[in-house]
Amino acid sequence: DVEQVRKVITHRAWGIFPNEKYVAFTRAVVQNMFNGHSHSRVSSPLGWLETVAKISATDIKNWHQEKYGIGNFFIVLAGALEQSHLDLIKNMLQDIPKVIPSETSYGTINKPLNNNFTRNADEIGEVKEQVEIGFLRAYSHLPITKNEVWSLLKRVMHDLLNERLRTEHAICYNVFVTNLLDKSFSMFAVNVNTDEKHIELVKQEFWNILGEIRDKKHEKKFELIKKLGIDQVRSYERLSEDIIDLSLRQVSKFNGYIITEEEQLKEMEKVTYDSIVNLMDEIFDPEYLFTEIILPSRK
């Protein structure tokens, strides 16, 4: 069974890592960005291929006995629940062993070893016709109080970057502003696809937009986006499976805490323009920002 699952995981891993060059590149980027932090040792829940190859059946058995039990997992229920359903869960939990909660020392995220990586697509085993530019920031765990601040900042930046790069300059096809939140770290990214001749203009406009936000030139846009965001939350119609999925993701990110819709609305109402400026300056600190440029294939 262990060998069969190992093959499945390895197959999935090669879906993420198309070749050895890409594995090496991913390792270099992760170790550079997460300098000093435990996440520098991994890239995804799958782990590295050589690590997967070394895990034995004994390792799995020992981990299960020490870590898998009450104290280290959450059960989220949603839907038309009755007391009898909860009683069944309680009875089931009596048969599950209690374990000591895992405690991990994550370390701190230091400045990147290198603030700039430039590679061509052939060097990392990919084929690209356009330049891919990423502005990336590894950050300590984003506290729950800043979750909605980031959400609104992300929307403002996304709108401004699209207006400037896609509409005004017409120099790119895709602009993404995203984040990855984990209980031990946060990662923020702005990704732009463009032609090689526009690299410097994209970089210039990225910093121009941050400066404009800081100089309070986009307060009206912020207020419109904030109102739209609040209206969207109020109009959500979530299925039970949506509630469970969202809750589990929040449990993972916020150490067991689940944000109710009422709390989310209150937090969104509290966000001010100054809030997004302050968080923007924290996240996009030039000393901690990592710029990744993947040039088109040369072959």
Residue 104 has pLDDT above 80, yes or no: no
> What confidence category does residue 88 fall into, taking pLDDT thresholds of 50, 70 and 90?
very high
Higher pLDDT, 299 or 78: 78
DSSP assignment letter at 215: T
Q: Which of 150-159, 193-202, 234-243 has the lowest mean pLDDT?
A: 234-243
3-state secondary structure of 36: coil
Whole-angstrom Cα distance, residue 162 to residue 176? Answer: 9
Instruction: Give 146-173 pLDDT, tens digit per residue.
Output: 989 999 999 999 999 999 999 999 998 8
What share of the chain has pLDDT > 90, as a percent? Answer: 61
The pLDDT value given to residue 266? 95
The pLDDT value recorded for residue 84 is 94
Q: 270 or 45: which carries more pLDDT confidence?
A: 270
Residue pair 2/57 in contact by the 8 Å Cβ criterion: yes
**CB contact at 8 A, 34 and 185:** yes
Q: Could you read off the pLDDT of 14-71 as tens digits, one per residue?
A: 888 889 999 999 999 999 999 988 887 777 777 888 889 999 999 999 999 998 898 8
Whether 219 and 275 have beta carbons less than 8 Å apart is answered as: no
DSSP per-residue codes, 140-190: SPPPGGGHHHHHHHHHHHHHHHIIIIIIIS--EEEEEEEEEE-SS-EEEEE
User: What strands lie across the sheet with 186-194, from one edge to the other?
Assistant: 116-120, 290-295, 131-139, 186-194, 172-181
The mean pLDDT of the chain is 91
Q: Which residue bears the tokens 């209980």?
A: 183
Q: In the chain, pLDDT over 70 holds for what percent of residues?
A: 100
Q: How confident is the model at residue 199 (pLDDT cuts 50, 70, 90)?
A: very high
Task: Report phi then psi at 277, rounded to 5.
Answer: -65, -45
Alpha-carbon span 275 to 279, nearest angstrom? 6
Mean pLDDT for 250-266 is 86
Rounded CA separation 75/247 (Å): 10
106 close to 37: Cβ distance less than 8 angstroms = yes
Our CA angle for 111, 294, 179, nearest 5°, is: 55
Residues 108-127 pLDDT 10s: 899 999 999 999 999 998 88
pLDDT category at 294 given cuts 50, 70, 90 is very high
94-113 burial code (b ≥16 CB/10 A, e <16) = eeeeebeeeeeebeebeebe
Which residue in 193, 210, 236, 233 sits closest to 153, CA to CA?
210
| Host H or E run for residue 139 | strand 131-139
Tell me the pLDDT band of 74, cut-offs 50, 70 and 90: confident
Return the pLDDT at 7: 93
Going by C-beta distance under 8 Å and a sequence separation of 6 or more, which residues neighbour residue 11? none
Three-class SS of residue 257?
coil
The answer on pLDDT for 103 being more than 80 is no
Q: What are 159's two structure tokens? A: 């709108």
Mean pLDDT of 245-256: 83
